[in-house]
Amino acid sequence: MYMLIMVLDDTAHLNDVLTAWDKAGVGGVTIIESTGINRLLRRHSADMAFAGFSQIFGSGRVGHNTLFTVINSLELAEAAVAATEAVLGDLMEPDKGIIFALPVAKTWGVTLQR
């Protein structure tokens, strides 16, 4: 088993990535809002007058979405990466996001359906 984790840079693509993962066989994805140090530093170094103005009108959003799930195999991870790149393009390009898989020794309360 593996934990598949993605930090999605542009949250506007969240539904498309989730749909792609579902079609690839990934289910039971948990999503949290997150941010990275680069975005946090950019936000704090911005001119405070403009940063405040952008926050008022909602354009100051600086977050990511972090997706995670437990999957059966690295083959499923590879399928999820391919499905993600079909939506976002090459993950090696800037401002796309990252995906990685970690081995999971044991789970409780998890039923892997796919």
Question: Which domain covers residue 25, as residue numbers?
Answer: 2-35+62-103
Q: What is the pTM of this model?
A: 0.80
Per-residue pLDDT, 37: 78
Convert the pLDDT of each residue in 15-51 to its tens digit: 999 999 999 999 899 999 988 877 667 665 555 555 5
Q: Is residue 11 part of a domain?
A: yes
Q: Is residue 83 part of a domain?
A: yes
What's the CATH number where 68 sits? Answer: 3.30.70.120
Q: Is residue 51 part of a domain?
A: no
In the chain, the number of structural domains is 1
Distance CA 67, CA 112 (A): 17
Q: Are 107 and 68 in contact (CB under 8 A)?
A: no
The pairing of beta strand 2-8 with beta strand 30-34? unpaired
Q: Is residue 50 part of a domain?
A: no
Convert the pLDDT of each residue in 57-99 to its tens digit: 444 556 899 999 999 999 999 999 999 999 999 999 998 999 9
Q: In what order do the strands lie in the sheet with 97-103?
A: 30-34, 64-71, 2-8, 97-103
Structure tokens belonging to residue 102: 């970690």
Nearest to 23 by CA among 74, 86, 104: 86
